[in-house]
């Protein structure tokens, strides 16, 4: 019996530490739960103090949809091409005597640019003139003899055969004299060719020869290159789908104004007129080559320069326009957020048209006078509440007024 009692005491003594450990766990859980309740209550209080709402409404900027005229234009990358590019070559062989131009200067058509040694051609002209003088004398003598023979034939003093022979001699010498005149013309032309002249008005390039070089018409590089720079053309390519519209407008006589802008599209270099299309479409790209002509008195366009070409095709009159930043793109397509009187936004699907600067045309889905969100639309949804940029100051002023009123009431 005593042994059983001792065993019960030992069992109770072993269970006591276990009960104390369980009690501590329960106490710890209760403490953690209490701290959570306190934090939750504090959060509710802070949210109530801030106005009872959780996340504040997003701030947005808005603008009115207005009616305006929007130009419809096509853009392309173009290359400046001179109307005329001429390589100046000598038309006969000879030694280069003189140069009468400076590299880069403007020259006029017919202006002498270089001089080939003229002395051999001067001598050739003199020889041709001497031959003509000799043959003229022979022809004159033959005509006098023919006249005598014809007189003697009428007197039946000579045979008619001698007269016929003399007539043939006169005709032969007349032909020789005609050949002499042609030889003189050729000699004069060759002498004129010794003065190499500009074939067109334009700008001189870098010379390819030096004084003293022996030149021939077969020289590949020639003497110098002259390019006509005013007027000047710009070649570019357009999609074949625009052929009918552009061709109709250009063919009506209205003309199509064209702008040439620099590579950065930052400044306008020149304005001109559409000139023509090529006569066939490039099947590899589906485009057709086109050309516009520009006045270039200020030399703003330089041959082989790359420029951005913008051609006005049409003008949309009185269409609804909004800032470009107001148009969003998503699953519904193009859309805008329209501000409602209760400071909510409504998603409106629109059909956009051409853009001009920071403005885009809305062809359908929006009426003039509607207020659209231009900034702060990221994350907005249909029906979301927003606040305008000016609302914050008004709300702050209202809160400050309420605080002042409370302060006076407390005093």
Contact of 335 with 373, CB cutoff 8 Å? no
> How many Å apart are CA 238 and CA 243, to the nearest integer?
8
Q: pLDDT at position 75, please? A: 87
pLDDT digits 0-9 by tens, 116-140: 999 999 999 999 999 999 999 999 9
What is the residue-averaged pLDDT of the chain?
Answer: 83
Candidates 119, 56, 167, 152; CA nearest to 392 is: 56
Q: pLDDT at position 25, please? A: 73
Q: pLDDT at position 235, please? A: 94
Partner residues linked to 359 by β-bridges: 323, 356
Average confidence (pLDDT) over 24-37? 70
Partner residues linked to 361 by β-bridges: 321
Q: pLDDT at position 108, please? A: 94
Give how far the C-alpha of residue 57 lies from the chain's centroid of Cα atoms, to the nearest Å: 44
Model confidence at 17, pLDDT cuts 50, 70, 90, reads low
Model confidence at 408, pLDDT cuts 50, 70, 90, reads very low
- Residue length, the chain? 411
Q: Quick one: which H or E segment has residue 308?
A: strand 306-323
Average confidence (pLDDT) over 62-71? 90
Indicate if the pLDDT at residue 253 is higher than 70: no
Q: pLDDT at position 391, please? A: 64
Contact of 333 with 339, CB cutoff 8 Å? no
Poorest-confidence range of 143-152, 168-177, 269-278, 398-407? 398-407
Indicate if the pLDDT at residue 409 is higher than 50: no
Q: pLDDT at position 81, please? A: 94
Indicate if the pLDDT at residue 404 is higher than 90: no
DSSP code per residue over 206-260: -----TT-EE-TT-SS-SEEEE--SSEEEEEEEEGGGHHHHHHHHHTT---EEEE
Indicate if the pLDDT at residue 224 is higher than 80: yes
Contact of 146 with 166, CB cutoff 8 Å? yes
> How many Å apart are CA 384 and CA 343, to the nearest integer?
8
> How many Å apart are CA 240 and CA 286, to the nearest integer?
6
Q: pLDDT at position 10, please? A: 52
Sort 186 into a burial class: Cβ within 10 Å, 0-12 / 13-18 / 19+: middle
Model confidence at 54, pLDDT cuts 50, 70, 90, reads low
Model confidence at 205, pLDDT cuts 50, 70, 90, reads very high
Centre a 10 Å sphere on the Cβ of residue 29 and count the other Cβ atoms it contains: 10
Q: pLDDT at position 243, please? A: 81
**Residue 92 or residue 410, greater confidence:** 92
Which residues are CB-neighbours of 351 under 8 A, at least 6 positions away?
334, 362, 363, 364, 365
| Strand 387-388 to 59-64 pairing | parallel
Indicate if the pLDDT at residue 394 is higher than 60: no
Contact of 70 with 321, CB cutoff 8 Å? yes
Model confidence at 23, pLDDT cuts 50, 70, 90, reads low
> How many Å apart are CA 311 and CA 108, to the nearest integer?
32
Indicate if the pLDDT at residue 222 is higher than 70: yes
Centre a 10 Å sphere on the Cβ of residue 158 and count the other Cβ atoms it contains: 15
**Residue 401 or residue 171, greater confidence:** 171
> How many Å apart are CA 232 and CA 228, to the nearest integer?
7
Candidates 2, 49, 80, 166; CA nearest to 403 is: 49
Domains annotated on the chain, with CATH: 59-69+318-392 (2.40.420.20), 74-83+235-315 (2.40.30.170), 85-225 (2.40.50.100)
pTM of this structure? 0.62
Indicate if the pLDDT at residue 85 is higher than 50: yes
> How many Å apart are CA 238 and CA 241, to the nearest integer?
8
Q: pLDDT at position 80, please? A: 95
Indicate if the pLDDT at residue 35 is higher than 80: no
* Tokens at 213, concatenated: 């070089």
| Strand 224-227 to 214-215 pairing | unpaired
pLDDT digits 0-9 by tens, 290-332: 999 999 988 899 999 999 999 888 888 899 999 998 999 888 8
Average confidence (pLDDT) over 237-252? 78
Average confidence (pLDDT) over 276-282? 88
Any idea which residue has 């039946």 for tokens? 156
Indicate if the pLDDT at residue 353 is higher than 50: yes
**Residue 186 or residue 33, greater confidence:** 186
Average confidence (pLDDT) over 208-231? 93
């Amino acid at each position: 019996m005593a042994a059983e009692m001792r065993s019960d005491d030992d069992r109770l003594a072993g269970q006591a530490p276990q009960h104390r450990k369980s009690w501590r766990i329960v106490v710890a859980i209760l403490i953690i739960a209490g701290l959570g309740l306190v934090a939750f209550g504090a959060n509710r209080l802070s949210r109530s103090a801030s106005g009872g709402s959780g996340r504040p409404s997003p701030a947005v900027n808005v603008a009115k949809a207005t009616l305006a005229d929007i130009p419809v234009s096509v853009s392309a990358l173009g290359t400046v091409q001179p109307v005329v590019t001429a390589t100046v070559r000598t038309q006969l062989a000879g030694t280069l005597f003189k140069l009468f131009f400076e590299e880069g200067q403007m020259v006029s058509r017919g202006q002498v640019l270089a001089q080939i040694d003229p002395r051999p051609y001067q001598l050739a002209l003199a020889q041709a003139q001497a031959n003509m003088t000799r043959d003229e004398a022979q022809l004159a003598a033959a005509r006098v003899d023919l006249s005598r023979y014809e007189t003697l034939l009428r007197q039946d003093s000579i045979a008619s055969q001698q007269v016929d022979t003399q007539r043939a001699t006169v005709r032969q010498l007349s032909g020789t004299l005609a050949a002499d005149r042609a030889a003189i013309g050729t000699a004069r032309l060759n002498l004129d060719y010794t003065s190499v002249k500009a074939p067109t008005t334009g700008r001189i390039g870098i010379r390819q020869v030096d004084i003293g070089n022996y030149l021939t018409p077969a020289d590949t590089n020639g003497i110098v290159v002259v390019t006509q720079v005013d007027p000047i053309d710009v070649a570019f390519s357009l999609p074949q789908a625009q052929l009918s519209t552009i061709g109709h407008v250009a063919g009506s006589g209205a003309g199509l104004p064209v702008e040439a802008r620099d590579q950065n599209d930052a400044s306008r270099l020149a304005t001109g007129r559409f000139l023509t299309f090529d006569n066939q479409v490039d099947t590899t790209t589906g485009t057709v080559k086109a050309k516009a002509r520009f006045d270039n008195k200020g030399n703003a366009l330089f041959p082989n320069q790359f420029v951005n070409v913008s051609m006005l095709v049409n003008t949309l009159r009185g269409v609804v326009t909004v800032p470009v930043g107001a148009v969003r793109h998503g699953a519904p397509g193009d859309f805008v957020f329209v501000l409602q009187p209760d400071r909510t936004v409504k998603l409106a699907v629109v059909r956009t048209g051409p853009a001009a600067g920071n403005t885009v045309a809305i062809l359908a889905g929006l009426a003039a006078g509607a207020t659209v969100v231009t900034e702060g639309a990221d994350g907005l949804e249909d029906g979301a509440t927003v606040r305008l940029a000016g609302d914050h100051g008004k709300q702050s002023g209202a809160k400050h007024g309420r605080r002042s009123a409370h302060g006076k009431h407390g005093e």
